[in-house]
Structure 1
Amino acid sequence: MHRTISRRVVLTGCLGLATQKAVAQRSRIWRVAYLVSGRSSATAPVIRDTLRSLGYEEGRNLVFDVRDANGRYSELPELMQQLLQLKPDVIVAEATPAVAVAQKATSTIPIVMSPSTDPIGSGFIRSFAKPGGNITGVANMFGDLTAKTLDIVRLVFPRVGKLGVLTSNNPTHPALFEVARNAAAKIGISADRYIAPDPEDVKKAYQDMKAAGCDVVYVLADPIRPLLPSIALEHHLPSVFQVNSYTELGGLMSYGPDILPLFVKAAHYVDRILKGGNPAEIPVEQPTQFVFTINLRTAKALGLSIPENVLIMADKVIE
């Protein structure tokens, strides 16, 4: 009899502790930091809305702190320090420049990549299946799509001889440029790199590409620089983008993963970590949906006729 009562006491005590822990989890105010390489205006609402759908509400159990570098990557370390002083439970880092800065700043606070171009090559994770540290999240696979993108460029511009590859100070760009240059060489196109470190440098880069006789520009993945499509049109240089958001802003063509769903996934990573998940053991996801978009309004403004076989390939046509 004594033994039975003791078991009941122990069982009741365990249940009580579990209930207290569950209540504490629900009542706690979580702090999520969002370090943004570009501008947060398009992506922060996606993360906020997804977190809300998962039960996190600002003003009740969530504080969402945002810092934007607006494409000036040299400002990221200072912005990261500002966020660290707020003692976040999780850091969401938008794009590789922010992930690299967050990694240097902390090895203990969980970091969610949203997204990263080459997380293994950049040293952020050990493998996709088992990241092995305090970083997990989403990759974007831009490098894997380059050869197919340049095949499309050849179809649209059969006489293209010289490709200008527009980059920034994004740490993944040197390797991505080599991928683009090698892929271009295989189809008889020469490729040169032009660097616009900050958004205000884009116009000068386009002037240089125009002067150098580039036929087409390939814009490597980076946080959005909103004026880029209008600058491309101003210099009458057809531009093909890795990031599909650019075609909505007037870019000619894009081929890459559907970007905004990656930020939805990032919010789900935050939720898993806040519920006790270990980033070292949470696999990094890669996109499964890729979108080829053509903006016919921009094609018309450039005096281009898009071949019918290319239009058939498109997932989305903006008219």
Structure 2
Amino acid sequence: MKKRFLVAALFALASFTVAHAAQPRVAVTAIVDHSALDAVRKGVSDELAADGYVLGKSLQLEYQSAQGNPGIAAQIARKFVGDRPNVIVAVATPSAQAVVAATREIPVVFSAVTDPVAAKLVRSWEASGTNVTGVSDLSPLNKHLDLIKQVAPTAKRIGVVYSPGEANSVVLVDALKKAAGAVGLTVVESAAARTVDVPSAAQSLVGRVDVLYAPTDNNVTSAFEGLAKVADQARLPIVAADTDMVRRGATAALGLNYYDLGRQTGKLVVRILQGEAPGKMPTEVSQTLELVVNQSAARRQGATLSPELIKTAKKVFD
């Protein structure tokens, strides 16, 4: 009797172990937790669920944040590679760089990376032929400059706070300078190496610029309230690349929906889980843009939003 019970228990345990091991595993990492990157992660998870993957039953999903520390990002990358999941999803440039540096075999899907070529994740925007593919959140700089002109028609100098240690931010600021110069505007930059440096970097721009531009920079996004406080006190309108910044105090933003970006990323993950090679998938860019405005922030920051601009906004805060 005891022997039959023991055999049955061992069989049940073995069956559970095999079934558990057979579940595909997806490991997700992000450089930091903030609203935009959290939305990407939620989008990935929801897309997997929509395709029939049930967490804990037909899919194992693990998430770890690097808490804004590139060193921790590298540690997480090495751990994930050692765990050998079916796919690693790396959200934002520093985490993507850490994961891509750690493996040439495990499929890697990056997301919310502005310029994957400049970040050296892939050689071109075409199919990489490697284990890497992903989705870019490339900012439409010319459209952002048009929005700046609508929010601050007399502005000549644009102030931008950015992280000098984030490759995409450096590339974006250089591109912004060129695009602004072509339309007669000047960009004045201020570096914030750490999240805590964002308010002081913004303060250094007061009196030197007419409007602030908030890029898709992880330090700026994480410490945006500090930037907005400076802008309110100095009456400097903020035009942002991330629409969630409008809820947090920017005057206006034209940007991607990061949840939708996550869903788009999740579709690539599903294709890989179903057997498609990441190296045959070109890097994708989301073309869906949303205009969001904040009338109370505009008043605090000395901007007057035209009825036409308000009418075209997808969402208006007041």
Q: Same fold (TM over 0.5)?
A: yes
SS at 2:88's partner residue? strand
1:231 partnered with 2:230: no
1:30 partnered with 2:27: no
Conserved? CA contact 2:169–2:217, under 8 Å: no
Deviations 1:200-249 (A, max 9, x none): 22111112122x52221112213473441453234423221112221222
Distance 1:25 1:193, change over 3 A: farther
Query: C-alpha displacement at 1:183, in angstroms?
Result: 2.0
Conserved? CA contact 1:72–1:199, under 8 Å: no
Query: C-alpha displacement at 1:264, in angstroms?
Result: 0.7
Deviations 1:104-133 (A, max 9, x none): 111111000113212233332344442211
1:1-319 superposed matches below 5 A: 28-39=22-33, 41-142=38-139, 145-168=140-163, 169-210=165-206, 212-223=207-218, 225-236=221-232, 237-319=236-318
SS at 1:193's partner residue? strand
Conserved? CA contact 2:89–2:111, under 8 Å: yes
How many residues align? The count is 293
Query: In structure 1, how many angstroms separate the alpha carbons of the residues matched to 2:118 and 2:298?
Result: 36
Query: In structure 2, how many angstroms separate the alpha carbons of the residues matched to 1:25 and 1:273?
Result: 20
Gaps of 5+ in 1: 1-23
Distance 1:45 1:141, change over 3 A: closer
The structure with the larger Rg is 1
What TM-score, normalized by structure 1, do the two folds share?
0.83
Distance 1:64 1:208, change over 3 A: same
SS at 1:67's partner residue? strand
Query: C-alpha displacement at 1:179, in angstroms?
Result: 1.4
Query: C-alpha displacement at 1:139, in angstroms?
Result: 1.7
Conserved? CA contact 1:229–1:249, under 8 Å: yes
Conserved? CA contact 2:25–2:85, under 8 Å: yes
Conserved? CA contact 1:232–1:238, under 8 Å: no
Query: C-alpha displacement at 1:25, in angstroms?
Result: 9.9
* % same residue: 27
- Alignment match, 1:18: none
Moved over 4 A (4+): 24-27
Query: In structure 1, how many angstroms separate the alpha carbons of the residues matched to 2:317 and 2:301?
Result: 15
- Alignment match, 1:5: none
Distance 1:251 1:226, change over 3 A: farther
Distance 1:75 1:205, change over 3 A: farther
Deviations 1:43-81 (A, max 9, x none): 333322221222222222322111112333343112222
Query: In structure 1, how many angstroms separate the alpha carbons of the residues matched to 2:308 and 2:257?
Result: 22
Query: C-alpha displacement at 1:255, in angstroms?
Result: 1.4
Query: C-alpha displacement at 1:28, in angstroms?
Result: 1.6
Distance 1:183 1:283, change over 3 A: closer
TM-align CA RMSD: 2.4
Aligned letter for 1:275? Q
Query: In structure 2, how many angstroms separate the alpha carbons of the residues matched to 1:131 and 1:101?
Result: 18
Aligned letter for 1:308? P
